[in-house]
């Protein structure tokens, strides 16, 4: 569900009024998009909605619609706007079970790497079939990364730190081979660090584990390692490979 303009609000059976909490011309977004704005998972957004803690949110049929920018309601202080720091939280990341890597994608990773030695951004359930996992509590950025690595990093502002760490570990020779799953944000500084590596721009939008809808952005798989032909052969089935 994309942004909704209130000029078409009649489609949803809502009416404007002083008690509705809705202002004509205000943009509406879905709970998935609210999760991105707040930097939290959809499960946490649902809890806030159920407790009436998001300003102006309305249940339309079976789906919530929420005014953007999203504001939390604090009983003592009124609606609180999102903070820039909140946007650095996890979205679509293996560091939360709600946004873990789709098993179908992991199967392609295993075809290329044959086995995974390390998942440095693991969820608590350790759903990636790796020999070693660093969870959020173990802070993968504070460790060396050895062997064959699969990285699905946090997708907030902190993603650049994970990308830099992976590139450093590969350059140092500790990481022998790696595949990273990241948003296709080609205009960012951190994405430019991958410019020398083969990339597969995935067709369509991934539906991350536990997510109710597909991600609101395209994804790309990045390959670091000597087996470029194998990567291209395997991943060409699900996207466009560039080298």
- Residue 215 and residue 207 in contact, taking contact as beta carbons nearer than 8 Å: yes
Confidence (pLDDT) at 81 = 43
pTM (2 decimals)?
0.61
Name the phi and psi angles at 31, rounded to 5: -65, -35
- Residue 51 and residue 42 in contact, taking contact as beta carbons nearer than 8 Å: no
Supply 194's token pair: 């991958």
* CATH architecture of the domain with residue range 97-242: 3-Layer(aba) Sandwich (3.40)
Helix axes 42-50, 31-38, angle to 10 degrees: 110
Confidence (pLDDT) at 147 = 96
What is the C-alpha to C-alpha distance for residues 112 and 95, in angstroms, rounded to an integer? 23
Based on the number of CB atoms within 10 Å of its own CB, is 220 exposed (0-12), middle (13-18) or buried (19 or more)? buried
**Using CA atoms in the order 222, 157, 193, 107, what is the torsion angle rounded to 10 degrees?**
-10
Residue spans of the domains in the chain: they are 4-88, 97-242
Confidence (pLDDT) at 212 = 59
Confidence (pLDDT) at 210 = 57
Confidence (pLDDT) at 175 = 97
Confidence (pLDDT) at 86 = 39
Supply 66's token pair: 């929420």
- pLDDT tens per residue, range 139-164: 999 999 999 999 999 877 889 999 99
Q: Which residues pair with 80 in a beta bridge?
A: 72
In which residue ranges of the chain is pLDDT below 50?
1-25, 75-98
Helix axes 228-235, 103-113, angle to 10 degrees: 150
């Amino acid at each position: 569900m994309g942004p909704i303009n209130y000029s078409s609000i009649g489609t949803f059976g809502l009416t404007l009024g002083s008690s509705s909490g809705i202002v004509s011309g205000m943009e509406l977004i879905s709970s998935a998009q609210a999760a991105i704005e707040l930097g939290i998972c959809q499960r946490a957004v649902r809890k806030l909605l159920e407790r009436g803690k998001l300003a102006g949110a309305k249940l339309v049929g079976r789906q919530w619609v929420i005014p953007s920018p999203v504001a939390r309601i604090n009983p003592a202080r009124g609606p609180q706007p999102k903070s820039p720091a909140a946007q650095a939280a996890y979205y679509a990341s293996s560091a939360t079970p709600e946004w873990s890597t789709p098993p179908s994608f992991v199967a392609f990773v295993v075809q290329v790497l044959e086995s995974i030695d390390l998942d440095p951004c693991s969820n608590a359930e350790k759903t990636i079939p790796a020999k070693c996992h660093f969870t959020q509590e173990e802070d993968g950025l504070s460790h060396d990364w050895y062997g064959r690595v699969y990285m699905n990093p946090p997708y907030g502002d902190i993603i650049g730190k994970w990308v830099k760490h992976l590139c450093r570990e590969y350059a140092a020779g500790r990481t022998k081979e790696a595949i990273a799953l990241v948003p296709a944000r080609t205009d960012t500084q951190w994405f430019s660090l991958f410019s020398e590596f083969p990339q597969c721009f995935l067709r369509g939008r991934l539906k991350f584990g536990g997510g109710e809808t597909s991600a609101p952005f395209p994804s790309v798989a990045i390959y670091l390692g000597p087996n470029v032909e194998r990567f291209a052969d395997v991943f060409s089935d699900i996207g466009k490979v560039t080298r």
